[in-house]
Structure 1
Amino acid sequence: MKVLVVGGGGREHALAWKLAQSPEVEKVYGAPGNPGIAKVGECVPISPTDVKALAEFAQREGIELTVVGPEAPLVAGITDEFQKKGLKVFGPSKEAARLEGSKVFAKEIMRELGVPTAPFWVFEDPNKAKEFIKEKGAPIVVKADGLAAGKGVVVAQTVEEALEAVERIMVQKVFGEAGNRIVVEECLKGEEVSYLVVTDGERYIPLEPAQDHKAVFDGDRGPNTGGMGAYSPAPVMSKELEAEVQKRVIEPILKGMRERGTPFRGVLYAGLMITESGPQVLEFNVRFGDPEAQTLMRRLESDLAQVCLSAAEGRLVEELRWSPETSICVVLASKGYPGKYEKGKVITGVEEAEKEPSVVVFHAGTKLENGKLVTNGGRVLNVTALGKDIVEARERVYRAIEKIHFEGMHYRRDIGLKAVKRLGRE
């Protein structure tokens, strides 16, 4: 079958790479794709949010399955548009995608269904929000209601920082309409873990747990990003904890969405904080995590095309097969990211890096210019490796990174260290 992957980042390269391995898949298209995706398929210059043009392309080319990478097209209603045309798509409807598209909606549905999450308050008036924050004190969390590419959440350690966040989001409108409302919530303490399931609206199968690293600098310091690295499995997620998350988070949400008449199909991603009093939901995403997908695709042994098609058709496969190895992904970013950054810096050493054992480099923000690979985004490359354990995976990935260079390249050197400590392998 012909498959279309919507998006052009590292997650989409990982999905396209995995889909291309399926014996059922004759051709993979990427819209808009990137130079990495071009190695496993054909790139078409259509924006991920140009839903109508994507649907027309899929109809014209006889695309039998579309896998949507980023959240913006899902929130814009790509699934509804495709289904109107009788096209199969892996991803939730516009209404179901509100779980990520609106932080307010997500928090309110969690409160309604008794899903554990931090106490929260919603504001439409920046002055009222500021007054409340001064009264409440810090640490405190400020979130833009709408989509902000993973950068709309500020974990403020001081009142000043929280007030500045309100100013930037609601007054200066740095995220546009996404900042019309904000959620202010209590700050949770613990260890973060990403828990993803694939669902056909009724049944679900869990993906292996992964741990993301949001902050830009080592030691979880600095502003939040879209994600600077990940590893899987995540030792923090025990079997008992997983059962609790399924019962208290995943099942109530899937049931609640069905009862609203907006069943959720696709990937439901719960961003969790494992606190002393158990798991609490930080946020929901309605698609594969980025960079979690990169680590998961390296470990997945099942046929991804079959998994996605079965969910889209409402007849979910029974189980997934995983490699017992540990996978790791480290993001190489442009100087200045997650703030302003320059593009067009020449990248060298990717082929050399991939000669290292079990290393695959996914392209996140790259393009070809006059035959040279150059930077074209904040997150530029995702270097991934497998190992018999987290120690070996870390050694391999950081050895590969030493071979890659572009001006201003920066990355975290502590990805996976939490797992090393947890396993007592320092």
Structure 2
Amino acid sequence: MKILVVGPGGREHAIVRALRRDDAVTEVHAAPGNAGIALDVVTHSGVDASDPAAVTALASAENFDLVVVGPEAPLAAGVTDAVRDAGIPAFGPSAAAAQLEASKAFAKEIMAAAGVPTAEAVHASDLGTAAGALDRFGAPHVVKDDGLAAGKGVVVTDDRQAALAHAQACFDAGGTVVIEEFLDGPEVSLFVISDGENLVPLSPAQDFKRIYDDDAGPNTGGMGAYTPLDWLQDYTETDAAGLTRNFTEVVVDQVARPTLAEMARRGKPFIGVLYCGLAVTSRGVRVVEFNVRFGDPETQAVLERLATPLGGLLLDASTGVLGADRQLEWSEGYAADVVIAAENYPDSPRRGDVITGVPEAEALDGVAVLHAGTADQEGALVTAGGRVLAVVGTGDTLQEAVDRAYAGVDAISWQGAQHRTDIAAKALRGEITVGAEG
């Protein structure tokens, strides 16, 4: 099986690495890829990932058996539609189905129709409506850019003026906002792979969105993640019929399956991975957001533990043969990743700084370095984006996985490099607790 992975980031590097572990996968290419991906597979750096015609032309010319589209922008642009129209299997939703991420208002509409538990929300296109919604829900205020914002279009603040300013900035840019009630409780990410009818969940993970320790500073695309979540293992909910389900079963039954059924009912079957961003609240599981692709940086940790061959899994989903009872296999132990970001990220990250220490980090036991914003500049590895690298540690315990990830981080440096020092720290201290719904 010959596979093309579309995208330039850390998520795509994790997918490439996992595909290469699949014995049925004979060849992997990436478009455009990055400097790290280019060390592992053939890259097509001149291809625009969001250009449906360019991706389809490459897929046809190189006779790929499967195209895996990583980021949200190419999905919203219709890359998978064009690839499928050319007769090539593609993993990723159509542009119509990708509206689950491209429009938060659309996602809320789908959840309401499907009976999916989520935060109450108001879709606002003017400051008066926004102000009324902020007053209705109270602080903390949650204001989301309705469109794609690479994980950075959400403001959560107690400052009403800051919330209004974010809404106004979105209006000034020609957009709208969704204002929600704040959901208490820890957040969890769960990926669900679907072939349009059947689905299979992956391992829950937790990511860290704020730039600084203790969840301070602005939102980013994600500064680290870990899996599995020991503190979630005993979570159960019991329904009116007396059926008790664990966390993953609750999400599949209450969130993923109804959402996918509603999409199919509307003639927009969802083929790909539905990212369920969830809050485990005092009232039960609630959806914070949907994404329509593997999340970054959770993917770097989750796929590091996946023992099921990834190529066959994604091909089966792409061709409608996932099956109703698909089960996945996982390696024992834990995985954690720490993102190292460029100076001035997330506002205006510096580019072109020379990176050192990656080979030394990769030589450590249980450490992998996945590239996101990197480039090759005359033989030197340099920064080329906001989130530059994700250092993944694996181990028999969560502490060992975290320690290995940070050992890798300590080996790497460049001017202005920054990272959080508290990935999984609350879990390790036993400070995360969730209630069970009876």
Q: TM-score, normalised by structure 1?
A: 0.95
1:394 CA displacement = 1.1
8 Å contact 1:139–1:157 — kept in the other structure? yes
Shift of 1:133: 2.9
Q: Which residue does the alignment assign to 1:323?
A: 331
* Mapped partners of 1:314, 1:365: distance in 2: 34
Residue in 2 that maps onto 1:268:
274
Distance 2:289 2:134 in 1: 21
- The equivalent of 1:339 in structure 2 is 347
Q: Please tell me whether the aligned partners of residues 193 and 237 of structure 1 are also in contact (alpha carbons under 8 angstroms).
A: no
- Matched residue type, 1:366: T
**Which piece of structure 1 moves more, 233-242 or 47-56?**
233-242
Q: Deviations over 1:356-409 (max 9, x none)?
A: 111000001000101000000000000001011111111111112111000000
What residue in structure 2 maps to residue 34 of structure 1? 34
Partner of 2:304: 298
Measured against aligned partners, the alpha-carbon deviations of 1:325-355 in whole angstroms (never above 9, x if no partner) come to 1000100001111111210000000000111
1:148 pairs with 2:149? yes
Q: Take 1:249 and 1:197, find their aligned partners in 2: how far apart are those partners?
A: 10
Measure how far apart 1:123 and its partner are: 1.1
- 1:83-232 matches, within 5 Å, as 83-133=84-134, 137-171=138-172, 173=173, 177=174, 180-232=175-227
Q: 1:260 to 1:49 in 2, by over 3 A?
A: same
One-letter amino acid matched to 1:139: P
User: Residue type matched to 2:297 in 1?
Assistant: P
- Which ranges of structure 1 fall in alignment gaps of 5 or more residues? none
The 8 Å contact of residues 6 and 31 in structure 1, kept in 2 or not, is answered as yes
Shift of 1:160: 1.4
Q: 1:409 aligns with which of 411, 417, 420?
A: 417
Contact 1:192 1:211 in 2 (8 A): yes
**Aligned residues of 1:215 and 1:222 also touching (Cα < 8 A):** yes
Contact 1:193 1:236 in 2 (8 A): no
- Per-residue CA shift, 1:296-318, capped at 9, x if unaligned? 11101111100000000100162
* Distance in structure 2 (CA, Å) of the matches to 1:192 and 1:335: 27
Q: Give me the CA root mean square deviation.
A: 1.4
Q: Distance in 2 between matches of 1:322 and 1:423?
A: 26
Q: Deviations over 1:209-247 (max 9, x none)?
A: 110111111111111100000001122433622222121
1:49-105 deviation line (CA, Å, top 9, x unaligned) = 011110011001101101111011111111111111111100111111111010000
Structure 1 range deviating more: 21-30 or 365-374: 21-30
CA distance in 2, matches of 1:284, 1:278: 17
Q: Which residue is 1:390 aligned to?
A: 398
In 2 relative to 1, CA 104–236 (structure 1 residues): closer, same or farther, beyond 3 Å?
Answer: farther
Q: Following TM superposition, by how much is the alpha carbon of 1:27 offset from its aligned partner in structure 2, in angstroms? A: 1.7
In structure 2, what is the Cα distance between the partners aligned to 1:159 and 1:402? 39
Provide Cα deviations, 1:278-305, integer angstroms capped at 9, x if missing partner. Answer: 1110000111010111001110111110
| Percent sequence identity over aligned pairs | 47
Contact preservation (8 Å) 1:20, 1:28: yes
Amino acid at match of 1:402: D
CA displacement 1:108-164 (0-9 Å, x = unmatched): 111122111111111112343235435654211111111011111111211111111
In the alignment, the residues of structure 2 paired with residue 137 and residue 281 of structure 1 have an alpha-carbon distance, to the nearest angstrom, of 19
Consecutive unaligned residues in structure 2, runs of 5 or more: 236-245, 433-438
Correspondent of 1:350 among 335, 353, 358? 358
Amino acid at match of 1:41: V
CA distance in 1, matches of 2:48, 2:422: 34
Q: Distance in 2 between matches of 1:184 and 1:146?
A: 13
Q: Does 1:15 align with 2:33?
A: no
Whichever residue aligns with residue 47 of structure 1, its letter is: D
Counterpart of 1:230 in structure 2: which amino acid? Answer: A
The residue type equivalent to 2:207 in the other structure is: D
State how far apart, in whole Å, the 2-side matches of 1:92 and 1:64 are. 17
Q: Would you say 1:2 and 2:8 are equivalent positions?
A: no
Cα distance in structure 1, aligned partners of 2:156 and 2:113 = 25
Contact 1:269–1:284 (8 Å) recurs in 2: yes
Output the CA distance in 1 between the equivalents of 2:344 and 2:420.
Answer: 14
Would you say the 8 A contact 1:7–1:30 is kept in 2?
A: yes
Q: Which residue of 2 aligns with 1:58?
A: 59
Supply the distance in 2 between the matched residues of 1:39 and 1:21 (Cα, whole angstroms).
16
Match of 2:72 in 1: 71
SS of the residue corresponding to residue 35 of structure 2 reads: coil
Matched residues in 2 for 1:115 and 1:243: separation?
A: 14
Select which of 406, 412, 422 maps to 2:430: 422
Deviations 1:10-59 (A, max 9, x none): 11011011112222222211111011111221110211101111001100
**Which shifted more, 133-142 or 198-207?**
133-142
Q: Find out whether 1:241 has 2:247 as its counterpart.
A: yes
Paired with 1:206 and 1:136, the residues of 2 have a C-alpha distance of 32
| Conserved 8 A contact 1:235-1:423 | no
Equivalent-residue separation in structure 1 for 2:253 and 2:232 (angstroms)? 14
Q: Which amino acid aligns with 1:73?
A: P
Matches of 1:112 and 1:131 in 2, distance apart?
A: 24
